[in-house]
Structure 1
């Protein structure tokens, strides 16, 4: 090789590679080349190889995606990591994705200053989704101060009141685009101890103004507290809020403040509240005549852990357009719990009229023996009322709740419209005479039923009501409402096959046979299938069995038409 040049210098990349290849076949490397010449040779060679790789990539299918289609790919990748990986597929993809500002709009402040600056630059003026972990230095938080108008969502994780107020002091600008705010607090504070004296003493200085009062267009607000601290609900005022999720399970909340928050958010459509309890003394100060009307709420869910005044609070709420309402409470069995497990007639009357717009079609009550009891009112365009309570094995001896449950159902103003009844009693074997009378009265008060479901029940307590009951001591059987479908779910039905057959025979003799019976259990009985055929409407009974699994330990068997 010449000491002044190398073969192919100045040639196009492909010809350069060929020239070098031919020369090196016949000539040994000449150490007479200078360092600058070697550097130039390396640069030209790398350029040639890069160009060749690009030519080769152009034949790959992934590189033939039209530019307009390629630009849409980031919008269909929901995972932040997937979007980043996609930007490294090839040079063309990366160049395209760097121009997609939305790809870089999700900011994790915990990743550091260089990351944040890079993403802010690439996001340009697009809306930002900001995730703030506890312990983020003020210097990093300050980088956002000129971008507050771009905030679309803010999520605070593992924070305390002081952390959030510090963030707002640094970023005090307007938040016109902020639509979603999520705050999660914990017991542990990772910001250090130099300012912990105030919170360690249990005293938290309230902010001079409501938190995030510059978020005038906020739509979704979620607050979750897994610690002993939760803020005053007076900290928040969002007039355009449509979704509220408040979870403060370790603490009691002030009912009056919650009412104020709901009243200040007239556009709410979804409300979900979970707490330990209400502050009873505070709730008692709320005037009985005060009712907060939430005209647009479609779903209202209130759950307390052992809270006694849940129905008292619900009586101050009106959701005339709600299609789903849930009032739930859990706790350990004790007389006081059972006493407050069900609403008083006045509370029930207020709740029914304030939460019901359309006639109810379904009613269910659950008597559970596990540590969690729920009551919810559900319907997919229908009204459904659950009247639950928590019970232990000795509960029946201390408090017979069947009459109360039956009373609640029958007090419903639209009881004649109910077409589905669902019962779960936790396999209780104690059905007192008073309970039996209440259930008979309940069954007789209902109109024709599309479905009666017995789930985890002691079947004799219910089946005997139909087959053995006599009207006022007379020798004739009572005629109950027709039932189109009987569903027996996880009730150990194989132990009571005779009772089930007798009930089907009885209904057939009365001229109101079941159209369909469904068994949901882990075992199938061919015997009961054959016997029930005699008493079923042959036009709707078909020997069809479907198997599917709701969980790995449970198989569901349905005999359907």
Structure 2
């Protein structure tokens, strides 16, 4: 059948049927004069199907739905055929695969996948597109089920280098871990950032017990950051090559021991299980301890207890905020907040078996305290020195305790920097 014959039959069909006339205008009218017999055949086939359906007693809504589906398929085929002649579609695959490496931002790489089907299929196979993923919890609109981000990215999990979860429940994270239980050799950083309160999906934010550790296939993971309001144990995770662990946590209970090579550990804010944390990650004798307290903002103070050995450094960070009652006109002063931190830190130093023989102690306190609070701090330091015995070096920054500690300043070198 010639192109002219196709065109004549289609022209007659579109004049005879208003539905087909609309379909013709939306699909073939722009392409038929240029695209030849294939496009004619697509539109003509739809016309034949429509004629059979309109003359049949079974012309139902289901039949109309089938016709609509056929029209959409024809549209997609015509668009794909039309796009194949576009210059941007003629870029060789080996050259096209280099484009993601030259785009400056991750969002630009994802935008590039929307250029056309050819670009979409080629770029989605590129590893750099999956190297960094920042996952926000799926948004539920109008009561519908979320699209489900995690199932969509699971087939590419082996290509991920940096993975960050934001506002996810533990159920979602556990499901992702289970669905990707194989090896994740490229993954070197995991961040789980979940705010306190109800989860957007109405799910519980509390970590439930797991039969096996999460992300157990991440054998080369180096950095793990956990910011979660409710977590019962860090034993949900076992990473043999971990070098940096950071958790932002109210109460972290660490049970059991693992042989890891962690060189940097930060727990923030304060946890009353510091001793168990230190014992887990510090296997060699402690050489130096630094307690630093400062006042970064008006509402509270923060500090760090840094414990150093030959093989590792553990940095325990903590924060204390002011508590105000407007009706009673009461507030907690900086000195009172400091005295909540100082005894806790010194008790940790005093009670832990690995800290009983260290020889260098450094106390940093960046505030001017009244004599009452200075005396209280001196009493705590005195208790500590009584247990520890002589030090090789004692450094005090910002608070002169020499008068109150004179009986203990025989052997150690005292540096007092105001």
Same fold (TM over 0.5): yes
Which deviations, in whole Å up to 9, do the C-alpha atoms of 1:179-205 show, x marking residues without a partner?
x33326599xxxxxxxx8x44658535
Shift of 1:448: 5.9
Q: Secondary structure at the match of 1:211?
A: helix
Question: Which residue matches 2:22?
Answer: none
Instruction: Confirm whether residue 270 of structure 1 aligns to residue 207 of structure 2.
Output: no
Distance change (3 Å), C-alpha of 1:200 and 1:317: farther
Shift of 1:245: 3.4
Distance change (3 Å), C-alpha of 1:224 and 1:216: closer
Q: Secondary structure at the match of 2:153?
A: coil
Instruction: Confirm whether residue 153 of structure 1 aligns to residue 128 of structure 2.
Output: yes
Question: Which residue matches 1:358?
Answer: 284
Shift of 1:374: 5.4
CA distance in 2, matches of 1:117, 1:420: 69
Question: Which residue matches 1:223?
Answer: 164
Distance change (3 Å), C-alpha of 1:319 and 1:203: farther
Equivalent residue in structure 1 for 2:119, among 117, 139, 143: 143
Question: Which residue matches 1:464?
Answer: 403
Written as runs of structure 1 = structure 2, the 5 A alignment for 1:531-550 is: none
CA distance in 2, matches of 1:119, 1:408: 64
Distance change (3 Å), C-alpha of 1:245 and 1:266: closer
Indicate the RMSD between aligned Cα atoms, in angstroms. Answer: 4.4
Shift of 1:123: 5.5
User: Is the contact between residue 268 and residue 316 of structure 2 (CA under 8 Å) also seen in structure 1?
Assistant: no
Instruction: Confirm whether residue 390 of structure 1 aligns to residue 316 of structure 2.
Output: no
Instruction: Confirm whether residue 212 of structure 1 aligns to residue 154 of structure 2.
Output: yes
CA distance in 2, matches of 1:235, 1:291: 14
Shift of 1:408: 0.4
Question: Which residue matches 2:415?
Answer: 486
Relative to the length of structure 1, the TM-score reads 0.44
Equivalent residue in structure 1 for 2:302, among 373, 381, 403: 373
Equivalent residue in structure 1 for 2:365, among 418, 425, 428: 425
CA distance in 1, matches of 2:150, 2:188: 25
Written as runs of structure 1 = structure 2, the 5 A alignment for 1:137-536 is: 138-140=114-116, 143-146=119-122, 148-149=124-125, 151-154=126-129, 180-183=131-134, 185=136, 198-199=140-141, 201=143, 204-206=146-148, 209=151, 211-216=153-158, 218=160, 220-223=161-164, 225=166, 232-233=172-173, 234-236=175-177, 237=180, 239-241=183-185, 242-246=187-191, 248=193, 250=195, 254-256=206-208, 262-275=214-227, 277-278=228-229, 280=230, 283=231, 292-303=237-248, 307-309=249-251, 311-312=252-253, 314-315=254-255, 318=258, 320-329=260-269, 341-343=270-272, 347-371=273-297, 373=302, 375=304, 377=306, 381-386=311-316, 388-390=318-320, 392=322, 394=333, 396-397=335-336, 400-430=340-370, 431=373, 433-446=375-388, 449=391, 451-455=393-397, 457=398, 459-460=399-400, 462-467=401-406, 477-483=407-413, 486=415, 488=417, 491=418
CA distance in 2, matches of 1:293, 1:224: 18
User: Is the contact between residue 269 and residue 296 of structure 1 (CA under 8 Å) also seen in structure 2?
Assistant: yes
CA distance in 2, matches of 1:116, 1:440: 77
Paired positions, count: 301
Relative to the length of structure 2, the TM-score reads 0.56
CA distance in 2, matches of 1:117, 1:375: 59
Shift of 1:327: 0.7
User: Is the contact between residue 328 and residue 376 of structure 1 (CA under 8 Å) also seen in structure 2?
Assistant: no
Shift of 1:454: 3.4
Distance change (3 Å), C-alpha of 1:137 and 1:487: same
Which deviations, in whole Å up to 9, do the C-alpha atoms of 1:319-350 show, x marking residues without a partner?
63212111112xxxxxxxxxxx341xxx3342
User: Is the contact between residue 267 and residue 318 of structure 2 (CA under 8 Å) also seen in structure 1?
Assistant: no
Unaligned runs of 5+ in 1: 1-112, 156-179, 188-195, 330-340, 468-476, 492-561
Shift of 1:413: 1.9
Shift of 1:121: 4.7
Distance change (3 Å), C-alpha of 1:487 and 1:464: closer
Shift of 1:364: 2.2
Question: Which residue matches 2:16?
Answer: none
CA distance in 2, matches of 1:136, 1:260: 39
User: Is the contact between residue 363 and residue 384 of structure 1 (CA under 8 Å) also seen in structure 2?
Assistant: no
User: Is the contact between residue 350 and residue 384 of structure 2 (CA under 8 Å) also seen in structure 1?
Assistant: yes
Unaligned runs of 5+ in 2: 1-85, 198-204, 323-331
CA distance in 2, matches of 1:324, 1:255: 24
Q: Secondary structure at the match of 1:439?
A: helix
